[in-house]
């Protein structure tokens, strides 16, 4: 009889033990696999929520703008932002990876109403795209989100300071891209309240075309923001974008990944590595549990080893038999677990998990959905880990048992 | 102690190997859970600690006029008698260990070719190092001398942008309190890690004599910052700071005292949104551990079904057999959980006392502005020890109960035949 | 005269801080020179077309305007450069109104914004709207005489009486014949030279000489300067006070 046939028969003979062991291995693997996707989704959500208001996953500006970024020098805007978008969209490696690509202008303004004035930060982008970025539409407390040209969405703090209500006229003064003085009147379409002072008291959102008119720009924008399907890819994507822009003849631009946009980004990078560590610890725990489960299973079989030995089976074959059994069991459990985990990840990558319940107390404009990530490489690694651990654990005690005196082995159970 | 307990204990000890395997999986699972919970709290803490160490301090006292216009850094809204205020703070809250005055202002930093606007802070070099960590982040050179009136400590990034190094002079120009301009050269005596960028406090530090030479003799102290010994947990830290602020509000009604919570509002809001995800991770860790525990206990019960037959044949009642097996499970569970608490305690103790060096963890990572000497510290969370132990016991009880119940109901002959 | 330049500069949102020349009383000889200078540059009303070239770090922006002013309290400026064409500023005492023709609307800038630097510039409106008497602020001393580009000039040093003066010390080269400041150096409290200013052209308006082209240069940053040229300059003409009203601003 071939060894593997014998191993299979052994597994089939003690169905309950096989099922229990494989089930345990499987459930552990399923959870590790799901956590892998969940941690990925969790970090994606954190990184997206951090980057969406400002830099995006990839940020393109002119080099001149980049140098003086924190002063938001509107004059150094990208004239050809439409061509920039085209050039980025036609990069073969980024096909299907771009979730949002948008032109945006951030600039300082003086808001005026009657005799009160206030400095404020204006963010202008495509109102529809901004629903997925700034997400201020989720925090509108009065009135409604931007609907037509000339609409402005202001923070509750600004509304209070300037005594503005929905429907009122708001005057905006700013320095134009040509250093002239720009002026435009807006209608307050909505007032948002996030309960975060720095947003409510400072932020003011308008549509991109209104901003261009205010700033005296025929087109273009100060930034082109790209959100990718995977924030981890941004470091690799940035040079591709830079190369594509160069090839398209768009000179003097700077394309950087979110990880290079300042101290807070570095903190996020640190956090994301922290979660990698956490995942490794969880994977270790999974492996440990599998090891235990397998050890328990092998412990049960000492008597059998004794009998096989007494029947004259050579120790080498006994070893191989048990190794095969363990590996098969590990493979069965791991494969089932990983496949099920991946299925879960695929489902939740599509439908997402709603985490908004935890945030009922405030209306922070962030995405509360966590979409699990699907990492095929990690899945493969996990199956290998499961099989490896199961095999190793089956091997070590079996070797000991195989060398034992048969009588001892039979008695030891 | 009942006879059944004694038998259970003896059985547990007799099957040393099985017990050990079950115990180890419990130990590792529960230990990791405790450690993970601790490090998660530590990660939350590190951001707040950075604020306390570099910008908000434990407690910030300013005039109401200054607070209302804080973005404009109004130098005409200073604190009239800072010494008296500092004494009053120390008196009002014995929990405050140190106080220091600061004045923030804008300067143009220049090398005569380029200039860039920077946030600067006038500090009392000796007191400042008791409250803030900037002094200990001097990477090259030294911190300010108290009396030096022509020296500056500058963030590395600013010096690099201007092509300046230690020992060079930096030209600083600023609007004085007299509403005119003044400019002077300052010797760069120290370069600080880019912590300033992270904290948002300032990238250039001058002693009060130096700042007054630049901005005018009448330059007021605009804020008093306080420090307190590090609290055991973030919540305790926030609560302590809030309490100190309310004590001060009573003692110094003319000034505005703001606790950390005021400055960390945005961060704390973001943290809340994270908490559900973190909770999910913790639950999954426990579930993985549970798989191991349930499996090992199930296996050990099943492997002894034959024993049950023997016991029943000897006349033991089904109820007693069930009790015996459940108690064995509980003993194993208690031992394993206790071991888990010890392992968890050791891990937390290590992370809380020694801390995990960030540069060690992420050695080759370009961390930009993260303080190089930052240490991620675990937090002691008694709650997670209780949860861990209770969880261990509960899972072992459940895992032992189900097969024991079934086995106890078996006919002795069936049990004896059971493989 | 320089005060008007200052005002104009700040009103058009220059991004450089600007010199304000002192007019002071002092020792006999210095007092004589200064009173001549003062008599020469003071006016009841002024009208001109101006062109300003603001260079910051090598990058130049141009502003052109037509301006009328009455004393130091009332001024009306209309911009004529393409970017700002038609925009008007009306300054009345300590208030500033802006008028935008396209939208036919006005904005009043007041309160703490007057103190804050305007749009990233470090010039505040308050600088522009301050109408203090510099005569009281400086002590003057004649340091000698020197030829400046072929013209004989008195070197006069002004030192601040109080730290609130715009500059701690000023050295002026004053044309001995025409009583026009040919050259000026502005020093900070630290003793460091902040800026220099130079008259490129002086014109005869009626019976007096008036500096009509000036360039000011920052000493703290390379390639940072402001050049200001006045054309069609008229002094002490008869102006209608009605020009300086809201009605006139929006007409």
Chain A hits for B22, CB-CB cut-off 8 Å, are: 292
Question: Which ranges in chain C belong to alpha helices (H)?
Answer: 2-11, 28-41, 125-129, 246-249
Chain C hits for A170, CB-CB cut-off 8 Å, are: none
Q: How high does pLDDT run on average in chain A?
A: 85
Q: What is the pLDDT of residue B363?
A: 46
CA B209 to chain A, closest CA, distance in angstroms equals: 30
Regarding whether B168 and B74 lie in a shared domain, the answer is: yes
- A285 contacts B29? CB cut-off 8 A: yes
Regarding whether A206 and A66 lie in a shared domain, the answer is: yes
Regarding whether A187 and A87 lie in a shared domain, the answer is: yes
Give residue A117's domain range.
56-258
Residue B375 has pLDDT above 80, yes or no: no
Regarding whether B366 and B220 lie in a shared domain, the answer is: no
pLDDT band of residue A401 (cuts 50, 70, 90) is low
pLDDT digits (tens, 9 = 90+) for B202-249: 789 999 999 999 999 999 999 999 999 988 788 889 999 999 999 999
The 3 state secondary structure assigned to chain B is CCHHHHHHHHHHHHCHHHHHHHHHHHHHHHHHHHHHHHHHHHHHHHHHHHHHHHCCCCEEEECHHHHHCHHHCCCCCCECCHHHHHHHHHHHCCCCCEEEEEEEEEEEEECCCCEEEEEEEEECHHHHHHHCCHHHHEEEECCCCCCCCCEEEEEHHHHHHCCCCCCCEEEEEEECCCCCEEEEEEEEEEEECCHHHHHCCCCEEEEHHHHHHHHCCCCCECEEEEECCCCCCHHHHHHHHHHHHHHHHHHCCCCEEEEHHHHCHHHHHHHHHHHHHHHHHHHHHHHHHHHHHHHHHHHHHHCCHHHHHHHHHCCCCHHHHHHHHHHHHHHHHHHHHHHHHHHHHHHHHHHHHCCEEHHHHCCCCCCCCCCCCCEECCCCCHHHHHHHHHHHHHHHHHHHHHHHHHHHHCCHHHHHHCC
Q: Tell me whether B396 touches chain A (CB under 8 Å).
A: no
Regarding whether A199 and A336 lie in a shared domain, the answer is: no
Domain boundary among B232, B263, B294: B263
Q: Which of the given ranges, A148-162, B271-285, C39-53, has the highest pLDDT on average? A: A148-162
Q: What is the pLDDT of residue A20?
A: 83
- Alpha carbon distance C131, A52 (integer Å): 47
Domain boundary among A220, A239, A258: A258
Regarding whether A26 and A107 lie in a shared domain, the answer is: no
For chain B, how many structural domains are there in total? 2
Among A116, A176, A183, beta carbon nearest to C103: A183
Regarding whether A231 and A308 lie in a shared domain, the answer is: no
Stretch (H or E) spanning A358: none
Higher pLDDT, B154 or B378: B154
CA A112 to chain C, closest CA, distance in angstroms equals: 7
> Which candidate, B171, B269, B63, C179, places its Cα nearest to that of A366?
B269
Residue C246 has pLDDT above 60, yes or no: yes
pLDDT digits (tens, 9 = 90+) for C13-35: 332 222 223 333 334 467 777 77
Regarding whether A137 and A225 lie in a shared domain, the answer is: yes
Q: What is the pLDDT of residue A356?
A: 64
Q: Tell me whether C92 touches chain A (CB under 8 Å).
A: no
Total number of residues shown for chain B: 419
For chain C, how many structural domains are there in total? 1
Regarding whether A367 and A349 lie in a shared domain, the answer is: yes
**Which residue in C131, C163, C191 has the most chain B C-beta atoms within 10 A of its own C-beta, making it the best mutation to test that interface?**
C163
Angle, alpha carbons C215-C218-C222 (nearest 5°): 110
> Which candidate, C218, C230, C176, places its Cα nearest to that of C194?
C218
Q: What is the pLDDT of residue B190?
A: 93
Q: What is the pLDDT of residue B23?
A: 85
Maximum Cα–Cα distance for chain A, whole Å? 103
Maximum Cα–Cα distance for chain B, whole Å? 103
pLDDT digits (tens, 9 = 90+) for C155-195: 999 898 888 887 889 899 988 888 888 999 999 988 999 88
Q: What is the pLDDT of residue B220?
A: 95
Give residue C147's domain range.
2-249
- Contact call for residues B297 and B399 (beta carbons, < 8 A): yes
Regarding whether A206 and A325 lie in a shared domain, the answer is: no
pLDDT band of residue A108 (cuts 50, 70, 90) is confident
Chain C hits for A176, CB-CB cut-off 8 Å, are: 83
For chain A, how many structural domains are there in total? 2
Stretch (H or E) spanning A364: none
pLDDT band of residue B361 (cuts 50, 70, 90) is low
Q: Tell me whether A262 touches chain C (CB under 8 Å).
A: no
Q: What is the pLDDT of residue A4?
A: 80
Lowest pLDDT segment from B70-74, B118-122, C189-193: B70-74
Domain boundary among B214, B237, B263: B263
Regarding whether A288 and A206 lie in a shared domain, the answer is: no
Q: What is the pLDDT of residue B125?
A: 94
**ipTM tops 0.85:** no
Q: Cβ contacts of residue B134 below 8 Å, gap of 6+?
A: B54, B123, B128, B143, B153, B192, B195, B196, B201, B205
Q: Which of the given ranges, A162-176, A257-271, B105-119, C86-100, has the highest pLDDT on average? A: A162-176
CATH number of the domain that residue C238 is part of = 2.50.20.10
Give residue B12's domain range.
3-50+270-417
> Which candidate, B160, B135, B201, places its Cα nearest to that of B373?
B135
Regarding whether B381 and B279 lie in a shared domain, the answer is: yes
CA A86 to chain B, closest CA, distance in angstroms equals: 31
Q: How high does pLDDT run on average in chain B?
A: 84
Q: Count interface pairs A-B at CB distance under 8 A.
A: 155
User: CA distances (Å), B135 to each of A128, B51, B188, in order?
Assistant: 48, 15, 14
């Amino acid at each position: 009889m071939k060894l593997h046939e014998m191993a299979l028969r052994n597994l089939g003979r003690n169905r309950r033990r096989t099922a229990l062991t494989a089930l345990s291995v499987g459930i552990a693997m399923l959870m590790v696999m799901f956590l892998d996707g969940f941690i990925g989704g969790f970090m994606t959500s954190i990184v997206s929520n951090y980057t969406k208001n400002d830099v995006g996953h990839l940020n393109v500006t002119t080099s001149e703008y980049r140098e003086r970024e924190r002063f938001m020098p509107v004059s150094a805007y990208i004239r050809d932002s439409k061509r920039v978008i085209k050039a980025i969209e036609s990069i073969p490696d980024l096909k299907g990876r771009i979730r949002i690509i948008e032109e945006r202008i951030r600039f300082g303004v003086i808001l005026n109403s009657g005799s009160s004035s206030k400095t404020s930060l204006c963010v202008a982008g495509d109102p529809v795209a901004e629903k997925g970025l700034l997400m201020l539409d989720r925090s509108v407390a009065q009135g409604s989100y931007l609907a037509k040209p000339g609409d402005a969405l202001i923070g509750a703090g600004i509304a209070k300071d300037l005594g503005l209500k929905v429907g009122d006229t708001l005057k905006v003064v700013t320095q134009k891209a040509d250093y002239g003085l720009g002026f435009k009147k807006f209608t307050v379409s909505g007032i948002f309240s996030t309960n975060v002072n720095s947003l409510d008291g400072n932020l003011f959102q308008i549509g991109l075309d209104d901003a261009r008119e205010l700033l005296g720009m025929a087109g273009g924008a100060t930034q082109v923001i790209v959100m990718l399907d995977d924030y981890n890819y941004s470091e690799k994507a940035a040079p591709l974008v830079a190369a594509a822009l160069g090839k398209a003849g768009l000179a003097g631009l700077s394309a950087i990944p979110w990880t290079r946009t300042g101290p807070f980004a570095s903190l996020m990078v640190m956090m994301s590595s922290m979660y990698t560590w956490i995942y490794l610890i969880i994977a270790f725990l999974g492996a440990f549990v599998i090891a235990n489960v397998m050890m328990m299973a092998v412990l049960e079989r000492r008597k059998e080893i004794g009998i096989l030995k007494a029947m004259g089976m050579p120790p080498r074959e006994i070893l191989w038999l048990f190794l095969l059994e363990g590996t098969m069991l590990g493979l069965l459990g791991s494969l089932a677990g990983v496949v099920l985990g991946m299925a879960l990840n695929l489902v939740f990558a599509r439908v997402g998990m709603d985490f908004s319940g935890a945030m009922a107390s405030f209306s922070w404009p962030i995405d509360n959905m966590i979409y699990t990530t699907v990492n095929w490489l990690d899945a493969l690694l996990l199956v290998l880990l499961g099989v490896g651990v199961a095999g190793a654990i089956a091997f070590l005690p079996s070797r000991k048992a195989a060398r034992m005196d048969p009588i001892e082995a039979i008695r030891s159970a | 102690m009942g006879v059944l307990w004694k038998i259970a204990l003896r059985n547990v000890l007799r099957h040393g190997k099985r017990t050990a395997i079950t115990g180890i999986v419990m130990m590792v699972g529960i230990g990791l859970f405790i450690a993970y919970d601790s490090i998660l709290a530590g990660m939350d803490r590190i951001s707040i600690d950075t604020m306390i160490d570099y910008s908000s301090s434990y407690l910030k006292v300013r005039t109401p006029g200054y607070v209302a216009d804080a973005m404009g850094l109004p130098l005409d809204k200073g604190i009239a008698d800072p010494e008296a205020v500092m004494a009053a703070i120390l008196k009002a809250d014995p929990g405050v260990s140190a106080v220091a005055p600061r004045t923030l202002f804008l300067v143009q930093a220049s090398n005569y070719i380029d200039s860039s606007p920077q946030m600067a802070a006038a500090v009392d070099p000796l007191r400042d190092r008791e409250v803030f960590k900037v002094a200990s982040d001097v990477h090259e050179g030294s911190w300010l001398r108290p009396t030096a009136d022509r020296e500056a400590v500058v963030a590395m990034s600013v010096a690099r942008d201007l092509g300046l190094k230690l020992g060079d002079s930096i030209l600083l120009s600023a609007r004085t309190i007299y509403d005119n301009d003044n400019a002077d050269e300052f010797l760069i005596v120290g370069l600080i890690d880019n912590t300033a960028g992270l904290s948002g406090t300032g990238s250039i530090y001058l002693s009060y004599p130096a700042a007054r030479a630049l901005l005018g003799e009448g330059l007021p102290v605009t804020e008093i910052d306080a420090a307190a010994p590090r609290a055991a947990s973030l919540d305790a830290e926030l609560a302590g700071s809030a309490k100190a602020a309310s004590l001060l509000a009573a003692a110094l009604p003319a000034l505005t005292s703001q606790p950390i919570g005021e400055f960390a509002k945005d961060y704390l809001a973001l943290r809340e949104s994270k908490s559900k995800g973190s909770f999910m991770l913790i639950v999954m860790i426990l579930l993985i551990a549970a798989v191991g525990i349930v499996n090992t206990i199930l296996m050990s019960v099943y492997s002894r079904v034959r024993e049950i037959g023997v016991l029943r044949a000897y006349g033991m009642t089904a109820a007693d057999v069930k009790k015996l097996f459940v108690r064995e499970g509980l003993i194993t569970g208690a031992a394993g959980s206790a071991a888990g608490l010890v392992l968890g305690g050791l891990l937390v103790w290590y992370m809380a006392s020694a801390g995990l060096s960030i540069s060690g963890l992420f050695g080759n990572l370009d961390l930009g502005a993260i303080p190089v000497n930052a240490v991620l510290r675990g937090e002691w969370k008694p709650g997670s020890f209780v949860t861990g132990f209770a969880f261990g016991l509960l899972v072992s009880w459940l895992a032992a109960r189900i097969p024991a119940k079934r086995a106890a109901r078996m006919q002795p002959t069936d049990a004896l035949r059971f493989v | 005269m320089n005060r008007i330049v200052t005002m104009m500069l700040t009103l058009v949102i220059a991004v450089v801080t600007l010199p304000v020349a002192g007019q002071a009383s002092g020792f006999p000889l210095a007092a004589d020179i200064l009173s001549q200078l003062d008599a020469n540059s003071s006016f009841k009303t002024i009208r001109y077309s101006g062109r300003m070239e603001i260079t910051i770090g090598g990058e130049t922006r141009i502003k052109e305007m037509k301006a009328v002013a009455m004393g130091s309290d009332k001024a009306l400026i209309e911009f004529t450069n393409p970017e700002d064409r038609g925009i008007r500023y009306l300054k009345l005492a300590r208030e500033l109104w802006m008028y935008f023709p396209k939208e036919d609307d006005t904005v009043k800038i007041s309160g703490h914004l007057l103190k804050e630097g305007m749009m990233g510039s470090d010039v505040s409106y308050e600088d522009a709207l301050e109408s203090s008497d510099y005569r009281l602020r400086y002590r003057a001393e004649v340091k000698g005489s020197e030829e400046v580009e072929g013209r004989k000039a008195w070197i006069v040093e002004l030192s601040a009486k109080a730290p609130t003066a715009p500059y701690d010390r000023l050295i002026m080269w004053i044309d001995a014949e025409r009583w026009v400041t040919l050259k000026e150096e502005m020093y900070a409290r630290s003793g460091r030279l902040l800026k220099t200013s130079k008259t490129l052209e002086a014109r005869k308006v009626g019976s007096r000489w008036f500096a009509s082209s000036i360039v000011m240069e920052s000493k703290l940053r390379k390639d940072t300067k402001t050049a200001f040229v006045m054309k069609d300059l008229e002094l002490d003409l008869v102006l209608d006070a009605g020009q300086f009203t809201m009605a006139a601003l929006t007409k």
